[in-house]
């Protein structure tokens, strides 16, 4: 499906609920400390399509939910995600996100970390307000797993010997866990049952893995305007992502020496990014990564099989399709 049709479909189905989520977010970022609404507003406005809260909204609708609880929980999910973005950009020393200067670049690392902490606290306030120990357990567990994934990525960063298995473990924790939780709580608020919870958790987990693999491949395959961040950021930061892991595994000793110099020792020259891309193309590792992502997207689709046909299911399928099709 093309990008325009996907966005139109998504917006028309979720617009009313998403506006209510935005109202909750605005209310919970109000503060006497002026930098909190300033930084929060900056990163939230630059944060893309609100995919994670949208998953909560759509999965609740898929399970026939007609109440109000999914609004606050969707906002809680977005706060967790936004807090991790603020912390990530500090750790990665990023200056751009989706083509816009990062909060840490504009206001500094200290305030970015503290505002990220504030947003996490707001997320937990919304969980408590929901009043369900089950949703609190799911989202608090997800928050802990995400933090573990961030630490795993940090200590593994620039290690050219990283295996695909370790990479998969990192992205499952760092990205897919929140996708899974976002989908699962949609079933929880609807009292849909354990089977539906497990199925939607599987949808989110597989979608999140596919989404992250494609993001990592696009860092070497997209133009900056389409990607929304500087192309080659992962290379410059020495992040070992799936295309590079496979290229290193298949490479000659000369090629491996290149990866050690650029990724592990951080000795990079202006022409190195283009050479890195040429090695990925030589070993077809971008194609390999994209095929892996497609397999996970297909697993997400399969997990939807037993849900009734309708607009919610159709929109969720469109999200799964678009998560991988944006790479082509």
DSSP string, 64-95: T--SSHHHHHHHHHHHHHHHHHHHHHHHHT--
Its pTM stands at: 0.92
At residue 157, the pLDDT reads 82
Question: How many whole angstroms separate alpha carbon 247 and alpha carbon 225?
Answer: 26
At residue 230, the pLDDT reads 64
Question: How many whole angstroms separate alpha carbon 188 and alpha carbon 74?
Answer: 13
Q: Which two tokens stand for residue 268?
A: 């990079």
At residue 30, the pLDDT reads 87
Contact 112, 103 (CB under 8 A): yes
Contact 78, 50 (CB under 8 A): yes
Q: Which two tokens stand for residue 73?
A: 């929980």
Question: How many whole angstroms separate alpha carbon 77 and alpha carbon 83?
Answer: 10
Which residues of the chain carry a pLDDT beneath 70?
1-9, 11, 46-49, 93, 95-99, 222-230, 327-328
pLDDT in tens, 87-127: 887 777 676 666 677 777 777 788 889 988 999 999 999 99
Closest to 74 in 3D by CA, of 28, 123, 37, 16: 123
Question: How many whole angstroms separate alpha carbon 136 and alpha carbon 138?
Answer: 6
Contact 221, 286 (CB under 8 A): yes
At residue 225, the pLDDT reads 46
């Amino acid at each position: 499906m093309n990008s325009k049709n996907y966005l139109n479909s998504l917006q028309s189905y979720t617009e009313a609920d998403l506006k209510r989520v935005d109202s909750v977010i605005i209310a919970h970022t109000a503060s006497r400390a002026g930098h909190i609404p300033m930084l929060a507003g900056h990163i939230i406005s630059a944060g893309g399509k609100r995919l994670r809260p949208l998953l909560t909204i759509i999965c609740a609708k898929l399970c026939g939910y007609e109440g109000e609880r999914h609004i606050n929980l969707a906002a809680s999910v977005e706060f967790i995600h936004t807090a991790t973005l603020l912390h990530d950009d500090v750790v990665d020393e990023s200056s751009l996100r989706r083509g816009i200067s990062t909060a840490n670049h504009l206001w500094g690392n200290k305030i970015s970390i503290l505002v990220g902490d504030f947003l996490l606290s707001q997320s937990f306030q919304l969980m408590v307000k929901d009043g369900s120990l089950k949703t609190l357990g799911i989202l608090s567990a997800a928050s802990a797993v995400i933090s573990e994934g961030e630490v795993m990525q940090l200590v593994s960063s620039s290690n050219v010997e990283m295996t695909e298995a370790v990479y998969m473990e990192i992205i499952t924790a760092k990205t897919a866990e929140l996708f899974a939780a976002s989908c699962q709580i949609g079933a929880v608020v609807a009292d849909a049952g354990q089977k539906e919870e497990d199925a939607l958790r599987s949808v989110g987990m597989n979608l999140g893995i596919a989404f992250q693999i494609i993001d990592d491949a696009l860092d070497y395959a997209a133009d900056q305007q389409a990607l929304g961040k500087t192309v080659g950021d992962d290379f410059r930061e020495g992040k070992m992502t799936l295309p590079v892991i496979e290229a290193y595994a298949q490479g000659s000793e000369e090629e491996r020496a290149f990866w050690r110099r650029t990724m592990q020792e951080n000795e990079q020259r202006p022409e190195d990014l283009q050479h890195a891309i040429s090695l990925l193309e030589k070993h077809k590792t971008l194609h390999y990564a994209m095929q892996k992502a497609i397999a996970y997207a297909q697993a997400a689709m399969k997990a939807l099989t037993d849900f009734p046909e309708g607009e919610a299911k159709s929109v969720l399928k469109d999200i799964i399709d678009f998560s991988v099709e944006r790479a082509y």
